[in-house]
Structure 1
Amino acid sequence: MTVNMNTTLPPGISQTPAKSKTTVDYNSFLKLMIAQMKNQDPTQPMDSTQYVSQLATFSQVEQTVQTNNKLDQIMQSSALAQADSLIGRSITSADGSTTGTVKEVRLANSGLVAILENGSEVAVGPGVSITAIG
């Protein structure tokens, strides 16, 4: 199903470029609502309470997305704080094939990655063993 979003916006509402395909903001919502209003059946227009309900639902979704973004930032900060404690410790990968002393730690999309003195990399996760040297 193809939806054509070429609509003329009312005065005071500007068209902004999308930040990403997964980002939806109030301008996008207003465009969709205007398109919905233009294309509704004039003999049976949508009840105003339905518009309010849609706006409330959209607001809740946007707040949830913002909360998730903040939680991601907090988790990254926590991971970086924990990363500092890994440097200088001995680490063994979950399968036991890689062992060494952690030289540095990098934060990747999948989580923490410990870089060993020999250049090997170990993804820090379940099954990984970390011990103090000495």
Structure 2
Amino acid sequence: MAITAIVDQGKIVNNGQPDSAKETTKTSNSEATQDMFLQLLVAEMKYQDPLEPTSNTEWIGQYATFTQIEQSTAMQGSMKQMEASQLVGKQVIMKSTNNLTGETNYFSGMVDYMYVEEGKVYLSVNNELYSIDDLDTVVDPDYMDAVQGGKDIDAMLAKLPAVKSINYHQDGNLIMQIRQKYETMNDYQKSFVNKDSVKLLEEYEARLKEIEPEPDTDNSTGEQESGSTEGTGNTEGTTNNEGANGDNNSNGDTGNQP
């Protein structure tokens, strides 16, 4: 009967063992380590100098030291798992160092879940697994929001042309949106906005006020002139009537003369 196995990059991925056998192997690592220590201890006792044998107290002390180290290692693993479980859903910054170049990069994101493999704890951040030993910083959500708010204002300001080149109709709305976003921030969030950015915003607002078009008064002036002309026409009509009446009176006086 042939035995088959999946090989990936020179490593056996599946050696034909069922999952239960694999889990049994993992849980027996501790026992295997103890057996190795006992074998070494027996070998040391077997080949010790019979003229200067090691006392039983020393053997017990060595075994006790080994047990303490083993328990300490197991406790550290449990604490790392507990720490990782508490990080799920939180913003973190991971530090990754390239083993070849020595270059260090930082990645930020939310922890989606924790993963344990062969006693090592990993965190899933941005769909990538990082060792919990690469954890650099746990970030407060309010801090992240404040930092992002400052970046957003800088990005909005970058869309505007130079202060002297802005157009009232094209750039006015964006300038007002930036001011509105800044005013909706609390004092803590405003502290993360660059002071130079706030000063630049004020310069844009001052320039916008300078180029604001004046209200159109042509229509109102035309209406006033039209009303004045009509009033003058009525006055002239009255004058003509008076003139006509004057003529009539004059004619009447002439008829009465002898």
TM-score interval w.r.t. the shorter chain? 0.5 to 0.7
1:86-125 → structure 2 map (5 Å cutoff): 86-94=87-95, 95-107=104-116, 112-116=121-125, 118-125=126-133
- The answer to whether the Cα contact below 8 Å between 2:94 and 2:134 also exists between their aligned partners in 1 is no
Q: 1:21 to 1:60 in 2, by over 3 A?
A: closer
- The answer to whether the Cα contact below 8 Å between 1:98 and 1:120 also exists between their aligned partners in 2 is no
Alpha-carbon offset, residue 102 of structure 1 = 0.4
Number of aligned residue pairs: give it.
104
Separation in structure 1 between the aligned mates of residue 78 and residue 131 of structure 2, nearest angstrom: 17
Q: In the alignment, residue 108 of structure 2 is paired with which amino acid? A: T
Separation in structure 1 between the aligned mates of residue 120 and residue 41 of structure 2, nearest angstrom: 34
Deviation per CA, 1:38-73: give whole Å up to 9, x if none: xx7xxxxx34xx3243x3323222111110011111
Separation in structure 1 between the aligned mates of residue 42 and residue 128 of structure 2, nearest angstrom: 51
Correspondence for 2:45 among 15, 33, 39: 33
Q: 1:105 to 1:62 in 2, by over 3 A?
A: same
Q: 1:23 to 1:101 in 2, by over 3 A?
A: same
1:1-134 → structure 2 map (5 Å cutoff): 19=32, 23-25=36-38, 29-30=41-42, 32-34=44-46, 46-47=50-51, 50-53=52-55, 55-94=56-95, 95-107=104-116, 112-116=121-125, 118-125=126-133, 128-133=136-141
Which has the higher relative contact order, 1 or 2, with Cα contacts under 8 A spaced 6 or more apart? 1
Alpha-carbon offset, residue 107 of structure 1 = 4.0
Q: In the alignment, residue 24 of structure 1 is paired with which amino acid? A: F
TM-score where L is the length of structure 2? 0.33
Contiguous gaps of at least 5 residues in structure 2:
1-31, 96-103, 143-258
Alpha-carbon offset, residue 109 of structure 1 = 6.7
Say which structure is richer in helix. Answer: 2
Separation in structure 2 between the aligned mates of residue 127 and residue 82 of structure 1, nearest angstrom: 11
